[in-house]
C-alpha cells in the first residue's frame, strides 16, 4: 500500500511539473489517503502483535 502512495505522489509531481493542476491535486489527495491508511494499519498491526506476545 505504501508503494501505491509513492506511485501517486510521483504521478502528482510529474503532473504538477507539466502543468496539469487537476490531475496533480487528485493524485496528491489519493497519495495522502493511502499513506494515512498505511500508517493506521501499521499501528494496528504493531499493537496487535504486542498484545499477542503478552
pLDDT digits (tens, 9 = 90+) for 27-38: 889 889 999 999
Q: Would you place residue 54 in the very low, low, confident or very high pLDDT band (cuts 50, 70, 90)?
A: low
Q: Would you place residue 53 in the very low, low, confident or very high pLDDT band (cuts 50, 70, 90)?
A: confident
Is 20 in a helix, a strand, or coil? coil
Cα–Cα distance for residue pair 27/54, rounded to 1 Å = 41
Q: Indicate if the pLDDT at residue 1 is higher than 80.
A: no
Quote the number of domains for the chain.
1
Evaluate whether residue 54 is within a structural domain: no
CB atoms within 10 A of CB 29: 12
Yes or no: say if 37 and 4 are a contact pair by the CB < 8 Å rule: no
Evaluate whether residue 52 is within a structural domain: no
What average pLDDT does the segment 43-49 reach? 93
Range of the domain at 37: 2-47
> Which tens digits make up the pLDDT trace of 3-25?
888 888 899 889 888 888 888 88
Residue 31, Cβ density class (10 Å: 0-12 exposed, 13-18 middle, ≥19 buried): buried
Amino acid at each position: 500500500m505504501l508503494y501505491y502512495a509513492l506511485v501517486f505522489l510521483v504521478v502528482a509531481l510529474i503532473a504538477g511539473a507539466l502543468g496539469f493542476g487537476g490531475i496533480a491535486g487528485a493524485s496528491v489527495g489519493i497519495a495522502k489517503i493511502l499513506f494515512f491508511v498505511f500508517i493506521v494499519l501499521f499501528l494496528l498491526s504493531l499493537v496487535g502483535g504486542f498484545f499477542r506476545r503478552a
